Structure 1
Amino acid sequence: MSVILRRIYDEKDTLGGNRILIDRVWPRGISKEEASLDDWMKEIAPSSSLRKWFNHDPDKFEDFKKAYRKEIDESDKASEKLQELKKMATNERLILLFGAKDTKHNHAIVLKELIEE
């Protein structure tokens, strides 16, 4: 299983794999051609209210992780998307793309953990 996290603003990965954007909002300044996505799974992203509450505050990260996991568990659509991501990751490389500047405290890290469990 190979799950890789990348900021969508970083250099595009040349090794290949499924490129999935996991943000609810399209990243500013990136065209669809530049993004070169296989899918945009906005349903798996944290709710707007959770995202705004968290505001990438490292002190809130543990509470954010718990709340985000709960959101996924309680949403049929998000749970379905998580299963799709798990299936992709077993068959080939999965690249989860996100826009957050903080690469250590964001929803992509939580999602990677869920996929790899």
Structure 2
Amino acid sequence: MSVRIRRVYEAPEPEDGVRVLVDRLWPRGLSKDAAHVDEWPKGLTPSTELRRGYHAGEGSYEEFAGRYEAELDTPEAAELLDHVRELAGTGAVTLLTASKSPERSHAAVLARLLA
């Protein structure tokens, strides 16, 4: 299983495999053609409240990750996680985010859960 994280603004690479956008909002200033996104499962994204709180500096990354994992504990999210796991089982999957620090974002939480 191969899951990696990249910024959506980076040029696609052949090693990306299936490119999955994991942000709730479409990245600013990026056309759909330029993004080369294969899937956009909005049900895997953090809630607006959680996202805004984390970006405002409310709590640590560890608190954010814990709350996000709790949000993912729904049947819809479990189904979407299973789907992305299936994709990763057949080839590479790249989780795309507009976050400036992908390694401290919800994409890192998802990558860990998919491993």
Q: What band does the TM-score fall into relative to the shorter chain?
A: over 0.9
- Structure 2, unpaired ranges of 5+: none
Going from structure 1 to structure 2, the CA distance change for 1:14 and 1:57 (only over 3 Å counts) comes to farther
CA RMSD of aligned residues (A): 1.6
How far 1:21 sits from its partner (Å)? 0.4
AA at the equivalent of 2:70: K
**Which of structure 1's runs of 4+ aligned residues deviate more than 2 A?**
56-59
Superimposed CA distance per residue, residues 78-97 of structure 1 (whole angstroms, 9 cap, x where no aligned partner): 11111111111111100100
Aligned to 2:93: 94
Q: Does the Cα contact within 8 Å between 1:56 and 1:106 map onto a contact in 2?
A: no
Aligned to 1:36: 36
Q: Alignment partner of 1:40: what SS? A: coil
2:45 matches 1:45: yes
How far 1:16 sits from its partner (Å)? 4.4
TM-score (ref. length: structure 1): 0.91
Going from structure 1 to structure 2, the CA distance change for 1:32 and 1:57 (only over 3 Å counts) comes to same
* Greater Cα offset, 105-114 or 7-16: 7-16
How many Å separate the matches in 2 of 1:51 and 1:79?
20
Aligned to 1:8: 8
Aligned positions, number: 115
Q: Does the Cα contact within 8 Å between 2:7 and 2:98 map onto a contact in 1?
A: yes
AA at the equivalent of 1:111: L
How many Å separate the matches in 2 of 1:46 and 1:5?
16
TM-score (ref. length: structure 2): 0.93
AA at the equivalent of 1:100: S
Q: Alignment partner of 1:53: what SS? A: helix
Q: Does the Cα contact within 8 Å between 2:5 and 2:108 map onto a contact in 1?
A: yes
How far 1:64 sits from its partner (Å)? 0.7
Going from structure 1 to structure 2, the CA distance change for 1:16 and 1:55 (only over 3 Å counts) comes to closer
- Structure 1, unpaired ranges of 5+: none
